[in-house]
């Protein structure tokens, strides 16, 4: 029984997703995007009260707004450390794309996510939202005010 159409072999089809994940070229495609498209960057900059980040098609976090930096605790990192897919395999704490565990500063968050693709399909804008009027919405507002500030535990203050 033939699963692939004539002219395509498993050797040519199967490595494509793995190559794309690693950021390598595939047929008719350059390497994975390394810079945020101007349109997505404009939208990202306008989202002051919603955590958002831009990912490449290979899972690389290309940019985060200030709210996402506060939510995730860091700006977008280069290389494997900033690749969401890679981190899901090597870091237990990163296995969820939606940070729903305890946030160290504001406690538990129940967030939903929306993914918007750019016109090329090579980059996506991921928004993390809370239902209005909920405890999580209030905590996101607190997180917006706190930013990436870290506070000492009471026993650490002298």
Q: How far is CA 153 from CA 108, 139, 149, 157, in A?
A: 18, 19, 13, 7
> What mean pLDDT is predicted for residues 8-27?
55
Structural domain contains residue 44: yes
Highest mean pLDDT among 7-21, 65-79, 91-105: 65-79
Looking at residue 66, its pLDDT comes to: 93
Is 22 part of a structural domain of the chain? no
Structure tokens at 45: 């900059």
- Indicate the number of domains in the chain: 1
Tell me, yes or no, whether 88 lies in a domain.
Answer: yes
Confidence of residue 62 (pLDDT cuts 50, 70, 90): very high
pLDDT of amino acid 112: 92
25 found inside a domain: no
Which residue stretches of the chain are H helix? Answer: 10-13, 15-22, 38-46, 66-72, 84-90, 135-146
Any idea what the CATH number is for the domain that residue 71 is in?
A: 3.30.450
pLDDT of residue 136: 92
Q: What pairs with residue 24 in β-bridges? A: none
106 with 143: CB under 8 angstroms?
yes
Question: What is the chain's alpha carbon radius of gyration, rounded to the nearest angstrom?
Answer: 19
Q: What is the pLDDT of residues 104-153, one digit of tens each?
A: 888 889 999 999 998 888 899 999 999 999 999 999 999 888 876 665 65
**CA dihedral for 50, 56, 61, 66, sign (positive or negative):** negative
Q: In this structure, is residue 56 part of a structural domain?
A: yes
Q: Does 27 reside within a domain? A: no
Check residue 73 and give its pLDDT. 83
Check residues 105 and 61 and name the one with the higher pLDDT: 61
Domain that holds residue 41: 32-148
Confidence of residue 1 (pLDDT cuts 50, 70, 90): very low
In a domain, 104, yes or no: yes
Asked whether residue 153 is assigned to any structural domain, the reply reads no
**pTM over 0.85, yes/no:** no
């Amino acid at each position: 029984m033939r699963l692939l159409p004539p002219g395509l072999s498993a050797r040519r089809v199967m490595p494509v997703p793995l190559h794309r994940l690693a950021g390598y070229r595939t047929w008719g495609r350059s390497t994975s995007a390394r810079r945020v498209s101007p349109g997505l960057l404009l939208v990202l900059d306008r989202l002051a009260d919603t955590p958002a980040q831009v990912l490449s098609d290979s899972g690389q976090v290309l940019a985060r707004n200030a709210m996402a930096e506060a939510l995730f605790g860091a700006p977008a990192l280069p290389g494997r450390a900033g690749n969401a897919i890679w981190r899901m395999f090597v870091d237990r704490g990163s296995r969820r794309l939606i940070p729903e565990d305890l946030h160290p500063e504001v406690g538990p968050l129940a967030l939903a996510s929306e993914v918007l693709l750019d016109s090329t399909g090579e980059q996506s804008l991921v928004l993390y939202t809370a239902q209005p009027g909920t405890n999580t919405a209030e905590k996101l507002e607190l997180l917006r005010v706190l930013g990436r500030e870290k506070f000492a535990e009471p026993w650490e203050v002298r």
